[in-house]
Amino acid sequence: MEKLFLIDGTSYDLKMAGFYFTSNEEDKVGFEIVTDKTIEELETVFSNTENTKTLTVKRNDLTLKTYEGYTILGDQFEVTKEYREGLNLIKLFMQMPELEYENLPETKLAISYAVQLMSNEQALTCKSVFPKWESFINGEMEKDTRFTYSGELYISNQDIPTVIENQYPSIDTAAIYRRIDEEHAGTLEDPIPYSQMMAVEEGKYYIEDEIIYKCIRSSGQPLYASCASLVSNYFEVAKSE
């Protein structure tokens, strides 16, 4: 008679085994074993996932079939009939666990490529998929790399051979990094929230401290100052049109 072996060497006489119990669904395999154990006792043994990672069917010393990864005990557990006095035929099913696709290396690689194809507007809706700035410290960062810092989404303005720990995104490093904000039309009705780390464009409207300003001269680079302090130079207070 064939036997079913678990990893710890425990064996059971086997009447039948295979996928024909499960309509050839290869994520689930069935076994019909001959035993004097109760269903409750078998549940204890087959619920030990470490012991069922490899299930081996043998005849004498010849291995007939090995089932790998069937570690989840199915709920279809039944006594099919009495085999002979003191022994029963008990049918049980072992299943493969559902794959956690988000943790597969190829899934992570696909996501890393896909996020770089997102528009900034799309990226702002799922900031958590981008790497944190801290993960680049002491390493390099390519131009146009998007990342998060303190919960905000940023992009690099240039290639950075070595990211230095004390040169984090701030007004002082505005030439290196710029924050990505929700896109606005830059009109009087939809002004752009102003940041001292952004370059401004002539004709666009910006809002700071609930005051709307109209840009009268493009800066071409971050201004490192408030709108109020740049009135007459780069801004004028907007008037309703």
Q: Where are the domains of the chain?
A: 2-95, 102-179, 192-237
Instruction: With a cut of 80, say whether residue 19 has pLDDT above it.
Output: no
For residue range 145-165, list pLDDT tens digits in order: 999 999 889 999 999 999 999
Q: What confidence score (pLDDT) does residue 22 get?
A: 47
List C-alpha distances in Å: 25 to 16, 62, 73, 140, 182. 16, 26, 15, 48, 48
The CATH number of the domain covering residues in 102-179: 2.10.10
Number of C-beta neighbours around residue 190 at 10 A:
11
Q: Mean of the pLDDT values across residues 203-209?
A: 94
Instruction: With a cut of 50, say whether residue 3 has pLDDT above it.
Output: yes
Distance CA 169, CA 184 (A): 22
Instruction: With a cut of 60, say whether residue 61 has pLDDT above it.
Output: yes
Full DSSP string of 62-101: EEEEEEES--EE-S--EEEEEEETTEEEEEEEEEPPPP-G
Distance CA 92, CA 21 (A): 10
- Owner of token pair 């958590």: 128
Q: Mean of the pLDDT values across residues 90-115?
A: 71
Distance CA 30, CA 62 (A): 20
Q: Which of 234, 232, 238 is nearest to 213 (CA)?
A: 238
- Provide the β-strand partners of residue 16: 32
pLDDT class for 239, splitting at 50, 70, 90? Answer: confident
